[in-house]
């Protein structure tokens, strides 16, 4: 059974609201797409309705299309639209901005703000803010965002540059595998894919161009890599859609007439009745020559990676930043320098239309890039003119802008813990409390996706994750101590009021004095404790916030000064009262034991304290927890090397339990409260303390 994309949903909505026939041209104008796209989407819509036994789409050769509105159809569509409405998916700021940029890059005509409002479901103000940001970035790349009244926005600049930027941005936001799958099966696998694929491309043109690229590869006896293939596809699509490609003297090259004839014949055989102008043919040949460099012999001894790295290291020293940590910069420079070497080797040079303006406004970056490029010219035995150097300088200017912008905004953090989501949540709560960050999301390792990695600024993990860049991954111990705090302080600002920052900055001086005058058993632990006190004074106390769901806890779920033979017996004591009262099934206890045997003592979350738990699907019947204190501590073999005397057994069906976890951690990390719990032999007193702290 097929599904519908966003355009088909919009067509259904338009037909439902129409009182008469709608012409194809009316639908195309309403949705700002081609009539070919509308016909294609109508075909898919009709197939969808037929699959559900509704033969209700009426076509008339002059009037257009009409939807026969039966009560059964209206009821079906109302239910279907409610379940599949695009409003349920909120695109991120980055996804919105990149779609707007891509749409402007691939279109040969202006795109109206109304188009983006209708397709992205955001306000005009939001669209204008994205356009403003895009405009500033385009300026750094030698292009201009032009606003034509009553028509819309259009990017003005070199079409080859626009095509290359499109490919770079597209690949960074969507899997190339999903792109190829879309061409072959006309389906997508993600919401972002649905937005990008169905609204940037006409499927029939895309399939036609893909076949053409395959034939060019066969004719020229070469294979393009994925990025090169996408660049070539976009170039050909833009040409077929009427984009004008102009030549300058600086982009002229000597053309192999046999090669030109072969390419021209291949295009005409594949596309049909189309005239390939000399201008388009020369641009295409130059593009193919710049893309095929990966498949031809190089005259350059030094590897490209070494060239880019040397340039970034030199520029890093000049600006006191680490450009090597900017993976987008490295990728962009590699692509640009690779093509630049091929161009200069063939006597081709690009002219930067904004050269004068850029070199005046960013004179220091241009001069630094010019000096840093001298060693590359010697290494490559190739001369770089000022225009070529200005393009390299633009990449560094953009990277510096991004670095400055990152300093101004709060980072988004992903917390990954191999020991499970519960431990991730506890880490996330502590990190959120200590540091000035926008958001913290705790997840398990198996839930980590490339999409999440791209969205979040940093990934804090208790395990190594090889496919994450080292500058983005921060590895810490699950027991967040002073050493981990020091590591995180190198990346994030402390979550303290402005007027107290000076006091915190003096903390190291205070610790030095204490160390010189006193004998401290654990200096790092003392520093961590003092830091927590400073932070807690500026944070609202979670104990005054009401839990969003019911949790059962009463005096019968408390046992004081019990005796356990070993750690398995201690876990049994913790789950016994929950099991006897029907809050959990016996398999919940078995799952806790199994997890500890498989993963290790990860549930020991503080010295002498274990938060015993399993998952919501492991036999939890009702949200509840129990407290057991032991007369003598039990060894769990944890790194803290402190016998466990407090067993807090937690059974939750709720997944949105951050507030409860935070309240529990407040108790567990408060040594005074823990001492009170361990020192009393009264179950009632333990119950009263916990009741006051949690509820």
Assess if residue 437 is contained within a domain: yes
Range scoring the smallest mean pLDDT among 117-121, 318-322, 425-429, 587-591: 425-429
Answer whether 58's CB lies under 8 Å from 66's CB. yes
Q: Would you say residue 54 has pLDDT above 80?
A: yes
Answer whether 352's CB lies under 8 Å from 389's CB. no
Last residue within a domain, chosen from 70, 88, 106: 88
Please give the average per-residue pLDDT across 372-400, as a whole number: 88
Assess if residue 246 is contained within a domain: no
Classify 631 as helix, strand or coil.
strand
If we measure between CA atoms, which residue out of 335, 283, 289, 304 comes closest to residue 159?
283
- Based on the domain organization, do 417 and 385 belong to the same domain? no
- Based on the domain organization, do 385 and 426 belong to the same domain? no
Please tell me the predicted confidence (pLDDT) of residue 545: 64
Please give the average per-residue pLDDT across 16-24, as a whole number: 89
- Based on the domain organization, do 591 and 682 belong to the same domain? yes
**pTM for this structure?**
0.41
Please tell me the predicted confidence (pLDDT) of residue 453: 84
- Based on the domain organization, do 433 and 398 belong to the same domain? no
Assess if residue 200 is contained within a domain: no
CA distance 605 to 426: 9
Please give the average per-residue pLDDT across 493-511, as a whole number: 54
pLDDT tens-digit series, residues 625-641: 999 999 999 998 876 67
- Based on the domain organization, do 365 and 387 belong to the same domain? yes
Assess if residue 40 is contained within a domain: yes
Last residue within a domain, chosen from 64, 88, 112: 88
Residue 499 binned pLDDT confidence (cut-offs 50, 70, 90): very low
Query: What CATH number is attached to the domain comprising 17?
Result: 1.10.10.10
pLDDT tens-digit series, residues 312-348: 999 999 998 888 888 778 878 887 887 788 777 766 6
- Based on the domain organization, do 688 and 564 belong to the same domain? yes
- Based on the domain organization, do 376 and 415 belong to the same domain? no
pLDDT tens-digit series, residues 474-491: 888 776 666 777 788 777
- Based on the domain organization, do 387 and 435 belong to the same domain? no
Assess if residue 252 is contained within a domain: no
Query: What CATH number is attached to the domain comprising 318?
Result: 1.10.1790.10
Q: Would you say residue 99 has pLDDT above 50?
A: yes
* Total number of domains in the chain: 4
Last residue within a domain, chosen from 342, 374, 403: 403
Assess if residue 35 is contained within a domain: yes
Q: Would you say residue 83 has pLDDT above 80?
A: no
CA distance 131 to 160: 21
Assess if residue 161 is contained within a domain: no
Candidate ranges 20-34, 181-195, 340-354; pick with highest mean pLDDT: 20-34
CA distance 501 to 494: 8
Q: Would you say residue 220 has pLDDT above 60?
A: yes
Query: What CATH number is attached to the domain comprising 478?
Result: 3.40.50
Please tell me the predicted confidence (pLDDT) of residue 597: 84
Distances (CA, A) of 2 to 49, 85, 247, 327: 10, 16, 46, 39
Please tell me the predicted confidence (pLDDT) of residue 543: 47
Assess if residue 192 is contained within a domain: no
Which three-class secondary structure string do you get for 282-300? HHHHHHHHHHHHHHCCCCC
Please give the average per-residue pLDDT across 220-242, as a whole number: 83
Q: Which domain holds residue 597?
A: 544-694
Please give the average per-residue pLDDT across 527-542, as a whole number: 54
Q: Would you say residue 583 has pLDDT above 90?
A: yes
Q: Kindly state the percentage of the chain with pLDDT values over 70.
A: 81
pLDDT tens-digit series, residues 113-140: 988 887 787 788 889 999 988 888 787 6
Query: What CATH number is attached to the domain comprising 603?
Result: 3.40.930.10
Please tell me the predicted confidence (pLDDT) of residue 515: 65
Q: Would you say residue 251 has pLDDT above 60?
A: no
Please tell me the predicted confidence (pLDDT) of residue 500: 44
Q: Would you say residue 352 has pLDDT above 50?
A: yes
If we measure between CA atoms, which residue out of 392, 391, 295, 396 comes closest to residue 342?
295
- Based on the domain organization, do 385 and 415 belong to the same domain? no
Answer whether 276's CB lies under 8 Å from 267's CB. yes
- Based on the domain organization, do 482 and 594 belong to the same domain? no
- Based on the domain organization, do 557 and 689 belong to the same domain? yes
Mean pLDDT for the chain?
80
Non-local (6+) Cβ contacts of 299 within 8 A are 345
- Based on the domain organization, do 395 and 417 belong to the same domain? no
Please tell me the predicted confidence (pLDDT) of residue 152: 93
Residue 624 binned pLDDT confidence (cut-offs 50, 70, 90): very high
Count Cβ neighbours within 10 Å for each residue of 511-548 and write b for 16 or more, e otherwise.
beeeeeeeeeeeeeebbbebbbebbeeeeeebeeeeee
Q: Would you say residue 92 has pLDDT above 90?
A: no
């Amino acid at each position: 059974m097929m599904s519908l994309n966003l355009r088909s949903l919009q067509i259904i909505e338009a037909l439902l609201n129409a009182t008469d026939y709608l012409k194809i041209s009316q639908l195309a104008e309403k949705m700002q797409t081609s009539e070919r796209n509308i016909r294609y989407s109508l075909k898919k819509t009709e197939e969808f309705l037929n699959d559900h036994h509704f033969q209700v789409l009426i076509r008339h050769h002059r009037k257009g299309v009409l939807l026969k509105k039966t009560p059964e159809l209206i009821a079906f569509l109302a239910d279907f639209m409610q379940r599949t409405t695009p409003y349920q998916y909120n695109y991120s700021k980055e996804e919105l901005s990149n779609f707007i940029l891509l749409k402007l890059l691939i279109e040969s005509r202006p795109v109206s703000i109304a188009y983006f409002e209708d397709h992205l479901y955001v306000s005009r103000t939001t669209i204008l803010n994205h356009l403003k940001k895009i405009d500033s970035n385009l300026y750094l790349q030698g292009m201009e965002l032009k606003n034509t009244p009553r028509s819309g926005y259009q990017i003005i600049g070199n079409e080859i540059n626009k095509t290359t930027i499109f490919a770079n941005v597209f690949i960074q936001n969507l899997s190339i595998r999903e792109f190829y799958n879309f061409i072959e099966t006309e389906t997508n696998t993600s919401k972002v894919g649905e937005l990008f694929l169905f609204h940037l491309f006409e499927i029939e043109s895309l399939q036609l161009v893909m076949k053409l690229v395959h034939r060019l590869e066969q004719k020229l006896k070469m294979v393009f890599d994925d990025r090169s293939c996408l660049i070539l596809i976009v170039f050909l699509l833009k040409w077929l859609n009427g984009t004008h490609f102009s030549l300058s003297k600086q982009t002229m090259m000597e053309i192999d007439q046999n090669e030109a004839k072969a390419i021209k014949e291949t295009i005409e055989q594949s596309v049909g009745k189309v005239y390939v102008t000399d201008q388009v043919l020369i641009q295409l040949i130059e593009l193919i020559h710049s893309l095929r460099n990966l498949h031809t012999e190089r005259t350059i001894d030094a590897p490209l990676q070494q060239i880019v790295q040397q340039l970034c290291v030199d520029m890093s020293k000049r600006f006191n930043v680490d450009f090597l940590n900017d993976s987008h910069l490295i990728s962009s420079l590699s692509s640009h320098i690779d093509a630049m070497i091929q161009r200069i080797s063939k006597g081709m040079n690009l002219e930067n239309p904004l050269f004068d303006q850029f070199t005046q406004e960013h004179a220091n970056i241009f001069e630094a890039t010019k000096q840093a490029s001298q060693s590359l010219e010697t290494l490559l035995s190739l001369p770089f003119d000022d225009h070529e150097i200005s393009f390299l300088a633009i990449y560094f200017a953009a990277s510096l802008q991004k670095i400055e912008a990152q300093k101004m905004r709060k980072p988004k953090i992903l917390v990954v813990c191999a020991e499970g989501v519960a431990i991730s949540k506890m880490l996330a709560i502590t990190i959120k409390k200590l540091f000035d960050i926008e958001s913290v999301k705790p997840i398990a390792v198996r839930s980590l996706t490339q999409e999440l990695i791209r969205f979040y600024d940093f990934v804090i993990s208790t395990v190594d994750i090889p496919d994450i860049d080292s500058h983005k991954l921060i590895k810490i111990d699950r027991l967040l101590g002073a050493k981990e705090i020091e590591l995180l302080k190198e990346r994030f600002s402390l979550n303290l009021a402005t007027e107290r920052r000076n006091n915190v900055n003096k903390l190291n001086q205070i610790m030095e004095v204490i160390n010189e005058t006193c004998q401290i058993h654990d200096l790092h632990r003392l520093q961590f404790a003092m830091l927590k006190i400073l932070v807690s004074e500026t944070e609202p106390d979670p104990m005054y916030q009401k839990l969003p769901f019911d949790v059962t806890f009463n005096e019968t779920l408390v046992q004081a000064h019990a005796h356990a033979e070993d750690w398995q017996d201690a876990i049994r004591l913790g789950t016994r009262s929950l099991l006897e009262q029907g809050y959990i099934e016996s398999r919940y206890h078995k799952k806790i034991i199994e997890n500890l045997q498989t993963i290790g003592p990860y549930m020991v979350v503080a010295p002498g304290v274990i938060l015993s738990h399993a998952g919501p699907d492991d036999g939890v019947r009702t949200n509840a927890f129990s407290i057991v204190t032991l007369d003598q501590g039990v060894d769990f073999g944890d790194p803290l090397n402190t016998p466990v005397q407090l067993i807090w057994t937690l059974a939750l069906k709720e997944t949105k339990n951050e507030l409860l976890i935070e309240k529990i951690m407040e108790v567990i990390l408060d040594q005074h409260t823990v001492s009170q719990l361990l020192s009393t032999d009264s179950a009632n007193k333990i119950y009263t303390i916990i009741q006051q702290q949690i509820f």
